[in-house]
Amino acid sequence: MAIGKNRLMDPKVDYVFKLIFGLDKDECRIALRGLLNSILNLEGEERIKEIIYLNPYLDKHYEEDKQSILDIKVKTNKGEKIDIEMQLVSYENLKKRFLYYWSKLYIDDFKSGEDYEKLNKVIQIIIVKDDLIQEIKKYHTKYKIKEVEENFEYINDMELHIIELGKFFDNEKNVEKMDRLERWLTFLKDADDESKKIVIEKIIEREEEIKMAHETLEQVSQDAIERDRALRRAIFLSDMTSMRNEARRKGMAEGKAEGKAEGKAEGKAEGKAEEKRKRNRMIVRNMLNNKFTKAQIAEYTGLSEEEIAEATNRVREED
């Protein structure tokens, strides 16, 4: 977990990712355009040429809310909105949160009574460290709203990309044989790995935009304050993972024990329901102890208001 003084910070930590791509500076803007064009596979005239940050990195904002989700929102020269997020920690209902964020951005500046024509396309991009989509082995999946049997688009306003770094193994490929996206993902996955230094050097020799991202990473990695913030963020995310896993293990163990004691179908069903309730209580308890608001708990876990309220009441009774 420790970040050595002379070592580059890990771009997979969302705080570091936003330092590289989310500062309202030319080099960050150019690097982000390059990353987006590679993910969206845009060439020639289709490439994104300009972006405007809708939520640039704010030092004060981060200090006030260390639990914030550090995504990057931009508007392109085409009028499209793009939200890109590095997600180091996977958890239950993550897929639903992606759609929730997409929907918020879609209607963010739309006012009641306006023409629906003013609603612009929103592209959401999520880069996750671990596996998330179990149905397929490829690391980059793309989703749209389509007719099920005829496979035509209902509307082009919604597009979702999920990139799973845990499935990405092309970093062993010769750099010359990598495509643009493979070079970008190799940078994101291995830039902080000293054993992959030669590969990264070859990549930045070929890709000017990745070179800019690498130079920004080198600069922020020498900043003692930013290194400390990145370390605290990485510890926080690790703690979140541990809390969820511990709650899941305890909830499953206690729920199974109660279900087994009943010895009947109803008992098993109740055991599963109680397992979920216990898991929710433990997650809510841990997050409340760590000063999370109910809104943040919902944001991170996908629990409904009713589930959070029920768990909170039970926690208070038990305490």
For 7-59, the pLDDT digits (tens) are 899 999 889 999 999 988 999 999 999 999 999 999 999 999 999 999 876 65
Confidence of residue 237 (pLDDT cuts 50, 70, 90): confident
When mean pLDDT is compared across 84-98, 116-130, 133-147, the lowest value belongs to 84-98
pLDDT band at 300 (very low <50, low <70, confident <90, very high): low
Report the pLDDT value the prediction gives residue 4, as an integer from 0 to 100. 46
DSSP E strand boundaries for the chain: 51-53, 72-76, 81-87, 122-128, 140-143, 158-164
Give the pLDDT confidence of 145-200 residue by residue, as tens digits.
999 999 999 999 999 999 999 899 765 678 888 999 999 999 999 999 998 999 99
Mean pLDDT value of segment 277-296: 71
Confidence class of residue 249 from pLDDT cuts 50, 70 and 90? low
Predicted pLDDT of residue 169 = 79
How confident is the prediction for the chain on average, in pLDDT?
82
Query: What would the pLDDT profile of 72-82 be if each residue is shown by its tens digit?
Result: 999 999 899 99
Edge to edge, what strands does the sheet with 122-128 contain?
Answer: 51-53, 72-76, 81-87, 122-128, 158-164, 140-143
Q: Which amino acid, one-letter code, is at 301?
A: T
pLDDT tens for each residue of 95-123: 888 888 899 999 988 888 899 988 999 99
For residue 141, pLDDT over 80 is answered with yes
Which has more pLDDT, 309 or 248? 309
The full set of domain ranges for the chain reads: 14-222, 228-318
How far from 182 is each of 38, 83, 91, 140, 186, CA to CA, in Å? 9, 20, 26, 11, 6
User: Residue 250's pLDDT is what?
Assistant: 62
Which pLDDT score is estimated for 233? 81
Please state, in angstroms and as integers, the Cα–Cα distance from residue 44 to each residue in 47, 49, 208, 287, following that order: 6, 10, 17, 47
Residue 172 CB contacts under 8 Å (≥ 6 apart), including other chains: none
Higher pLDDT, 265 or 284: 284
Mean pLDDT: which of 88-92, 197-201, 248-252, 307-311 is highest? 197-201
